[in-house]
Amino acid sequence: MKKLLFLSIFVLALYSLSASAAASVATVNNIDLGTSALGTSKVRTFTLTNDGNVNLTGVTFTFSDSDFTLSFNKTNFNLSAGASENINFTLTIPALTSTGNVTLGSVNLVSTELSKSPLFSIRADVVGGLIIEDLDVFLTTRLTHRSDGTISSGNEADTDVSDGGRLDFGEEDVGPGSELRFNFNIENTFEENDDIDIDQVTISVTIESIDDGDDIDEESQEFDVDSGKSQDVDVFIDIPLSVAEGAYDIVIEVEGEDTNNNVHTATMNLEMTVKKEPREVVVTHASLFPEKVVCGGTSTLTATIKNLGARIEENAGIEIVNSDLGVSYLQRNIELEEDPFDDTNEFTKSLAISTDRAKTKSGTYPIDVKAYIQDDIVWEKQSVSLVVEGCSDAAAAEEAPETEAVEETEEAEEIPAQAEETQQETMEEGVKVPVLKPETTTEVPLTKRSGFWFSIIALNVLVIAGIAYLIIKATGKKLQ
């Protein structure tokens, strides 16, 4: 019995000892090589610590991607329990591999007592293959329709754009309704004799959180860049009218695939500041439906004014006017909030525009829409044109004096019966074209024409003579 108890205690002790004798190494942080060019080598150091209670023997390292060349200053060595060792490694990036900010692979540990995969990962921003060689950004500010009818906008450029920088357009600022043109020079850094083309390249420009918290992004069409060559590509992006002042991040991503199916990417990060005028109430929309009507018809004009300024406008106004059509609408004391995403930041008016069949003439009628910043201060004016067709000449005839019509009638009566052909020469595209006046005749009643009654008498005589002849002839036959 005592021997059995002693044996059990001995087995438990051995189990406890074996359980505590674990092999392990401390965690090694992932390593970022930073910007690394194709075909170059990077040297880094990491510390390997045996935090177990078992000595490690025959320690070596491997790399998960066999296309990379990875060498260590120590290999097939022993590491005692509790000991640490600084290890240097050199990693060579192949000349033919994917580029961009990518994970190159993982380092694995192999020993007699322990294998750990992965031990840590290696990342790098691999450059080459496809790069943004140059970037210029051009600014065109919103078209401003002044109250005097002039239209203007500002134009500036930032030709010194660098990764991580802020766009600077000198005296002009990016504001609501601005347009940005990103002019890229994208280069294929492979040598021409490498014959490695990069195809289906696209450029994406994203302005983050600018549209009421949402991103705005535009992408170029696909293009190819031959080995050793470059391409100029434009990407346009519009700043919305509803935008808040402040700084915004711009993320640029370029991506393509080479003839060896390696993916190449290049990135750039910028910052942009949006500014507003202190006060600015503008006409953002003016349209007619339909734009063309038949005389007597009606069209609907829809117009919107909006506060693009940085403060509340309490006495804004809108006016819609055309004197020829009798259009005269004015509304004042409109309150417009400064928050571009508030429903009361803009005001819309729909107005029926009617044409008078008796008074309106065919033609084109410009209708002015004016935005007032306060009282009689017109800040902006835009015009839309209504085309009116099919009006008769009745309106013009009604405007002519009555005496003229009488005189024309009298003159017509004096025109002789024979048609008098006259020619009026007009110029049409430089050619003289004869225009014939219509023939005008005066009709005389039949009873008043000369010879009418003489013909009647002669006809009666002939009829009577004929009757007498028939009577005499018939009587003579009976006498015989």
> Residue 297 pLDDT > 70, yes or no?
yes
> Residue 468 pLDDT > 50, yes or no?
yes
87 in the same domain as 32:
yes
Distances (CA, A) of 386 to 103, 331, 354: 63, 22, 11
355 in the same domain as 336:
yes
258 in the same domain as 174:
yes
Number of domains in the chain: 3
Using 50, 70 and 90 to split pLDDT, how confident is the model at 475? low
Domain membership of residue 442 (yes or no) is no
181 in the same domain as 235:
yes
Q: Which two tokens stand for residue 454?
A: 């003489």
Domain membership of residue 302 (yes or no) is yes
Q: Which two tokens stand for residue 170?
A: 């000198």
Q: What are phi and psi of 92, to 5 degrees?
A: -105, 125
Percent of the chain whose pLDDT exceeds 90: 65
Domain membership of residue 226 (yes or no) is yes
Using 50, 70 and 90 to split pLDDT, how confident is the model at 422? very low
Q: What are phi and psi of 299, to 5 degrees?
A: -120, 155
Last residue of a domain, one of 274, 303, 325: 274
217 in the same domain as 92:
no
Last residue of a domain, one of 80, 99, 126: 126
Please give the residue range of the domain that contains residue 356: 281-389
Strand ranges across the sheet with 31-37:
31-37, 115-127, 100-110, 56-63, 77-79
> Residue 217 pLDDT > 50, yes or no?
yes
Using 50, 70 and 90 to split pLDDT, how confident is the model at 66? confident
Q: pLDDT higher for 458 or 200? A: 200
Mean residue pLDDT of the chain comes to 84
CATH of the domain at 328: 2.60.40.10
Using 50, 70 and 90 to split pLDDT, how confident is the model at 184? very high
Distances (CA, A) of 261 to 36, 67, 264, 321: 20, 15, 9, 64
178 in the same domain as 254:
yes
pLDDT tens-place string over residues 90-106: 999 888 888 888 899 99
Assess contact for 312 and 338: CB atoms under 8 A: yes
Alpha-carbon distance of 255 to 234, in angstroms, equals 15
